[in-house]
Amino acid sequence: MTDTPRKTARSSAAAKKPATRKVATGKATARTAADRKTVSARRDAPAAIVTHKPAAVLIVGAGFAGLGMAIRLQQAGVTDIIILERGTDVGGTWRDNQYPGAACDIPSNLYSYSFAQNPNWSRSFSGSREILGYIHHLVKEFGLERYIRFGKNVQELKFDEKKGLWSATTAEGEVFSGRAAVMAQGPLSNASFPDMPGINEYKGHKIHSARWDHSYDFRGKKVAVIGTGASAIQIIPELVKEVEHLTVFQRTPGWVMPRPDFETPEWNKEIFRKLPFTQSALRQALYLAHESMALAVIWSSPLTRVAERVGRWHLHNQVKDRWMRRQLTPNYRIGCKRVLISNDYYPALQKPNCKLITWPIYTLCENGIRTVEGIEHQFDCIVFATGFEVSKAGTPFPVTGVGGRQLNDEWSRGAQAYKSINVAGYPNLFMTFGPNSGPGHNSALVYMESQLDYAVRGIQKILGENLKMLDVKPHVQKQYNEGIQKRLAKTNWNSGCMSWYLTEDGFNATMYPGFATQYANQMKEFREKDYLVVPG
Amino acid sequence: MAMIDLDKMLEKVKATQWALADIDWDAPGAELVTKEQWPQLKDFMVDLMWIEHVGARGFAAMAKKAPTETLRQLYSYFHAEEQRHANAEMALMKRWGMLEGDELPEPNINIRLVIEWLDRYADGMPYYVLGTVIPMLEVALDGALCTFLLESVNDPVCHQAFEKINDDESRHLGVGFTVMEMQGHNKTSIQMVKMMAPMLDPRLLLGIASYLPLLNKMRDNVVKMGLPEEKLYAAMNKFKRIGGRTAEGRRNPWYQFIQHHGSIMVKRSNRFYHIPVDAAVKVTGLIPRRMLPAVPSWVKELTWQPTA
């Protein structure tokens, strides 16, 4: 698991399907009396519309972003918050991605909130269970249970310009509303099987990496993994230990870098506990080290060549067979796609019970996968590590703004926002991981913190000055995006490879073309003159 | 041949895939291969299969060098399709009792040398060199060897397999000739001379040194088996005719070079060419096998089994 969202399949049609989720059984969470009432009301009359009292802030999603938003709002004195979560547990990405080997590829000391540091990380790169544990700890530490409404799958967000209220309608027909709304549903939270020919004909077991089937016994099975992205390279080394035979189907090889992963000794944790500034210092050092990687990953520079050399050295060092090295050598510039980090992926591929296949897949069939070299590869189980569905529109549910405008329509040729967080025509709405906010080189949570603090400032203004609308001016948004696209043209992401960062037309609505420090600086400043203000 | 729309071709290639499992390799008809045919047919099939396989590796090298994403994908498919042809030909050999156990048929020394060269240097060769050599080999395969095979063997399964193989090959040729024309498009004299500059590259010279004896040996093998020489002349003429149909095609210096070489290669009467190349065949035949490095792992990917 990476710290930033990943995706491979692009399907606007698929995105329209209501997403189904298998969720990890989490600890019991408190529900409000209102919720219990709603549930019982629903049992009696499922179609009845239940409208709840408006809150100050409505947050969609209880993952890192939604919970972080609630913490920052709470710290700023805003406590009238409702968080709508479609699952039965918090954690979002880290709750869903529980496949074997799932871990973050950013050091945990950097992949955590600076305002809630954890001295107890067991390793430099923690696994998904430990990260989920950290998220549970945040909920407990900051008393966030009271805000969360579980099992509320938002189907629509709509702005009422007369009242200056955002309302969210759930799948059950309940309506929640808030003066301000925060879309923290995660940019890539919907996972489904890819649209591959013959996928429905396959009669064996199918597992998606983001919806792992923990009940399936892999022992003695012939298993395929489709995909060699960030999830796959973590799954493969674990699966190969269990299965009888593993076949890995690769379309495009990624750049794989060594992973400096160490266990944190007890004395080190003790120092962090007793002298928290030492952990902050380490965090700062890690931050700067990652910032320097931008020079290699985001833009083409001499450091890019150095990084590629390190990648090739890693490959050469771990893979002895010339043909296999050729199969695993990327033919695009490093950084153009997500850079992968692993020490055990290449060795796993060379295990006697593992085989790498690079022939194109042309169809799935009843018993397995047919590739173009004419062979039918038969399996008991196929693991799809094929990423997430991404709608071209970029919104997982309809979002209706001023005058009935639809965000899906406006974003049909690529998503755009102002500073990734506000969109003109959708007042009082804040997005986490909105358009062009993705990092390629640093912790997503660093970016997220800047977004949360910006949103707090906007929300404080709305609530403090009792505004009906705080809406970014269209020309400001346009000007901002022209600048972003101009800068993106010079980056490695736009250097010619096909990646999920780009739409089918080659438009990059995903990544931020700069250092995390630049992003944080732009988010530090809340320029009121960029907004249209309508008093309440 | 007019230039084809490569994007449409890619769609067509994707839509017309087949697998070995689509053919019933145990269907009746294997007995139609006569006892007299069997030994020579075995040698022929071994050569054919290995040529398909080295052709596959050639496409793999072209995929690395392709100037557009469409061509890169096309060559990736063609790489796999040539492998499929080699696999299918092995499945036919299995059907006819020409394989010993699960062992791969032994490639002749000249094939081994070409495999070594491809493994080491093919990825470093300019795109237009392989882009011209491969269509020439495919015309020879498609127009002469496969036609001859189908005329001599009555086994219906062989015909069924080669119908599919030939459909694939015709698409490979369509793309091959289009690319040859693209390479000649708008080329100035200086650019054309530059295109021939790799002739001074020792790696390419080494490639030519291993390729020429292979062609001569194969040529003699198929003629010995009964392939009329006229069929080879006709195939080379086809290459000359289609490749040189447009001014762009004719302006590609590699087309000119390969088509001249093709004509010389098939005509035994040209002693200036054949005496030294035949000598090279003899000399290479003296190379002890143990001096050659182990076969690269891509060779071991070949299989006659429709399922894995």
CATH number of the domain to which A88 belongs:
3.50.50.60
Q: Which of B77, B119, B308 is closest, CB to CB, to A372?
A: B77
When computed from its CA atoms, the radius of gyration of chain B, rounded to whole angstroms, is 19
Instruction: For the beta carbon of residue A122, count every other beta carbon within 10 angstroms.
Output: 11
Please check whether residues A436 and A476 belong to one and the same domain. Answer: yes
Q: Which of A322, A326, A378 is closest, CB to CB, to B308?
A: A378
Pair A191, A208: CB distance under 8 Å: yes
Number of domains making up chain B: 1
Please check whether residues A167 and A121 belong to one and the same domain. Answer: yes
Q: Is A323 on the interface with B (CB under 8 A)?
A: yes
Q: Do B69 and A498 touch (CB under 8 A)?
A: yes
Q: Which of A323, A370, A375 is closest, CB to CB, to B296?
A: A323
Q: What does pLDDT average to over chain A?
A: 87
Number of domains making up chain A: 2
Please check whether residues A436 and A488 belong to one and the same domain. Answer: yes
Instruction: Give the domain extent around A433.
Output: 12-191+389-535
Pair A396, A15: CB distance under 8 Å: yes
Tell whether the torsion through CA atoms of A287, A288, A292 and A298 is positive or negative.
positive
When computed from its CA atoms, the radius of gyration of chain A, rounded to whole angstroms, is 23
Q: A-contacting residues of B 83-122, CB under 8 Å?
A: 83-84, 87-88, 119
Q: How far is CA A485 from the centre of its chain?
A: 22
**Does residue B200 form part of some domain?**
yes
Helices B202-224 and B229-243, interaxial angle, to 10°? 140
Length in residues, chain B:
308
Tens digit of pLDDT for each residue in B130-182? 888 888 888 887 777 888 888 889 999 999 999 999 999 989 989 988 988 88
Q: Is B171 on the interface with A (CB under 8 A)?
A: no
Q: Which residue of A has its CA nearest to B57?
A: A323
Please check whether residues A366 and A407 belong to one and the same domain. Answer: no
Q: Is A29 on the interface with B (CB under 8 A)?
A: no
Which residues on chain B are in Cβ contact (under 8 Å) with A223?
none
Q: How far apart are CA B292 and CA B308, in angstroms?
A: 30
**Does residue A284 form part of some domain?**
no
* A445 φ/ψ sector (left φ>0, alpha ψ -120 to 50, else beta): alpha
**Does residue A84 form part of some domain?**
yes
Please check whether residues A362 and A396 belong to one and the same domain. Answer: no
- Tell me how close the Cα of A324 comes to any Cα of chain B, in angstroms: 8
Instruction: Quote the tokens at residue B296.
Output: 């690269």
Which residues on chain A are in Cβ contact (under 8 Å) with B84?
372-374
Q: Which residue has the tokens 């004896």?
A: B213
Pair B3, B67: CB distance under 8 Å: no
Which residues fall within 8 angstroms of residue A174, CB to CB, at 6 or more apart?
Answer: A38, A42, A49, A50, A51, A52, A152
Q: Do B297 and A321 touch (CB under 8 A)?
A: yes
Q: Do A374 and B87 touch (CB under 8 A)?
A: yes
**Does residue A269 form part of some domain?**
no
Q: Do A374 and B20 touch (CB under 8 A)?
A: yes
Decide if pLDDT at B129 tops 90. no
Which residues on chain A are in Cβ contact (under 8 Å) with B302?
none
Q: A-contacting residues of B 115-154, CB under 8 Å?
A: 119, 123
Residue B138 identity (one-letter amino acid): E
Please check whether residues A104 and A239 belong to one and the same domain. Answer: no
Q: Is B307 on the interface with A (CB under 8 A)?
A: yes
**Does residue B301 form part of some domain?**
no
Pair A415, A394: CB distance under 8 Å: yes
Q: Is A525 on the interface with B (CB under 8 A)?
A: no
Q: Do B119 and A372 touch (CB under 8 A)?
A: no
Please check whether residues A94 and A210 belong to one and the same domain. Answer: no
Instruction: Give the domain extent around B275.
Output: 6-18+35-291
Mean pLDDT, to the nearest integer, of B18-33?
94
Q: Which residue of A has its CA nearest to B161?
A: A374
Q: What is the CATH number of the domain that holds B262?
A: 1.20.1260
**Does residue B225 form part of some domain?**
yes
**Does residue A294 form part of some domain?**
no
The interface predicted TM-score (ipTM) is: 0.90
Bridge partner list, A418: A422
What is the 3 state secondary structure string of chain B?
A: CCCCCHHHHHHHHHHCCCCHHHCCCCCCCHHHCCCCHHHHHHHHHHHHHHHHHHHHHHHHHHHHHCCCHHHHHHHHHHHHHHHHHHHHHHHHHHHCCCCCCCCCCCCCHHHHHHHHHHHHHHHHCCHHHHHHHHHHHHHHHHHHHHHHHHHHCCCHHHHHHHHHHHHHHHHHHHHHHHHHHHHHCCCCHHHHHHHHHHHHCHHHHHHHHHHHHHHHHHHHHHHHCCCCHHHHHHHHHHHHHHHCCCHHHHHCHHHHHHHHHHHHHHCCCCHHHHHHHHHHHHHHHCCCHHHCCCCCHHHHHCCCCCEC
Q: Which residue has the tokens 């009432």?
A: A37
Tens digit of pLDDT for each residue in A160-172? 999 999 999 999 9
CB contacts < 8 A (A, B): 63
> What DSSP string describes A476-534?
HHHHHHHHHHHHHTTBGGGSS---TTB-TT--B-SB--S-HHHHHHHHH---GGGEEEE
What is the 3 state secondary structure string of A291-313?
A: HHHHHHHCECCHHHHHHHHHHHH
Q: Is A363 on the interface with B (CB under 8 A)?
A: yes
**Does residue A2 form part of some domain?**
no
Q: What is the dihedral of CA A504, A496, B178, B197, to 10 degrees?
A: 180
- Domain end point (choices A384, A414, A443): A384
Please check whether residues A157 and A19 belong to one and the same domain. Answer: yes
3-state secondary structure of A279: helix
Which residues on chain A are in Cβ contact (under 8 Å) with B19?
370, 374-376
Please check whether residues A448 and A474 belong to one and the same domain. Answer: yes
What stretches in chain A show pLDDT beneath 70? 1-48, 188-189, 388-394
φ and ψ of A123, to 5 deg: -135, 170
Tens digit of pLDDT for each residue in B207-259? 887 888 888 888 887 787 778 878 888 888 888 888 888 888 888 888 888 88
- Tell me how close the Cα of B297 comes to any Cα of chain A, in angstroms: 6
**Does residue B28 form part of some domain?**
no
**Does residue B24 form part of some domain?**
no
Which residues on chain A are in Cβ contact (under 8 Å) with B307?
367-368, 375-378
Closest C-alpha among A523, A338, A371 to residue A442: A338
Please check whether residues A444 and A331 belong to one and the same domain. Answer: no
- Domain end point (choices A361, A384, A407): A384
Residue B62 identity (one-letter amino acid): M
**Does residue B302 form part of some domain?**
no
Q: How far apart are CA A492 and CA A499, in angstroms?
A: 11
Which residues on chain B are in Cβ contact (under 8 Å) with A245?
none
Cα maximum dimension of chain B: 59
Q: Which residue of A has its CA nearest to B306?
A: A375
pLDDT at A136: 96
Q: Do B80 and A359 touch (CB under 8 A)?
A: yes
Choose the weakest-confidence range: A453-462, B84-93, B293-302: B293-302
**Does residue B296 form part of some domain?**
no
pLDDT at B1: 47
Please check whether residues A515 and A443 belong to one and the same domain. Answer: yes
Q: Do B297 and A374 touch (CB under 8 A)?
A: no
Please check whether residues A179 and A320 belong to one and the same domain. Answer: no
Q: Which of A322, A326, A374 is closest, CB to CB, to B84?
A: A374
